[in-house]
Structure 1
Amino acid sequence: MYKKFQDLLVKNDTTPYRVHKDTGISTATLSDWKRGRSTPKVDKLLILSNYFNVPLEYFLEEETTKQ
């Protein structure tokens, strides 16, 4: 999931900090995702999908292929 998130950051010329400020998702949460300490819950993925204007499935597809 985080790879797709990073791709969207580059594509939209933004930073995790800006995403945090705009969405309310903490930087610690984003960092935990990056380090693999936790995985995002669907409610957070929905926030990100709305923020980046991509379908929720954009994030979910990768999650199902990892299993």
Structure 2
Amino acid sequence: MESIYQRIEALIAERGMTKKAFCQQLGISTGNFGDWKRGKTTPGTNKLIEIATFFDISLDWLMMGRTPKREMVNEQQESYFFDDLGQLNCQIDQLTEQEKVFIRDYIEFTAYRKKKKKETD
């Protein structure tokens, strides 16, 4: 099984970058990067988000090596989470606390990616 470091290393190579250039662009010390390689530490949550954004990949793939399941995506024209008025199409009390936290985190992550994309454009 590939480690997070091995997936990052493959992405760096795929982009034709040096590891040093990658570290400089993302503000990662070479010492920390070396610790990731040795398995001593792993990137923190914020750094994982930055790396996923930088390479335009999913966090799920970066962290676990799993590709998103396409069959879970609703590609129909019908409402998914929101009705025609932009309201939640589910009852909030039907969600577990863990599901609520996930939704909040995902919204924050999406906003972060949009902000980073605007900064680079």
Aligned to 1:39: 42
Give a deviation string over 1:10-57, Cα, whole Å, max 9, x none. Answer: 110012211111111111111100011111211111111111111111
Q: Which has the higher helix share?
A: 1
Segments of structure 2 that go 5 or more residues without pairing to the other structure are: 66-121
The total of aligned residue pairs comes to: 62
Counterpart residue identity of residue 15, structure 1: T
Higher mean C-alpha displacement, 53-62 vs 42-51:
53-62
Aligned to 1:10: 13
Equivalent in 45, 51, 54 of residue 51 of structure 1 = 54
Equivalent in 24, 28, 41 of residue 25 of structure 1 = 28
Q: After TM superposition, what 4+ stretches of structure 1 lie above 4 angstroms from structure 2? A: none
Identity score, percent: 29
Whole-angstrom CA distance in 1 between matches of 2:56 and 2:21:
16
TM-score by length of 1: 0.81
Higher relative contact order (CA 8 A, sep 6+): 1
Whole-angstrom CA distance in 2 between matches of 1:53 and 1:27:
22
Counterpart residue identity of residue 25, structure 2: D
Whole-angstrom CA distance in 2 between matches of 1:37 and 1:45:
16
Counterpart residue identity of residue 10, structure 1: A
TM-score by length of 2: 0.48
What is the root-mean-square deviation of aligned Cα atoms in Å? 1.2
Segments of structure 1 that go 5 or more residues without pairing to the other structure are: 63-67
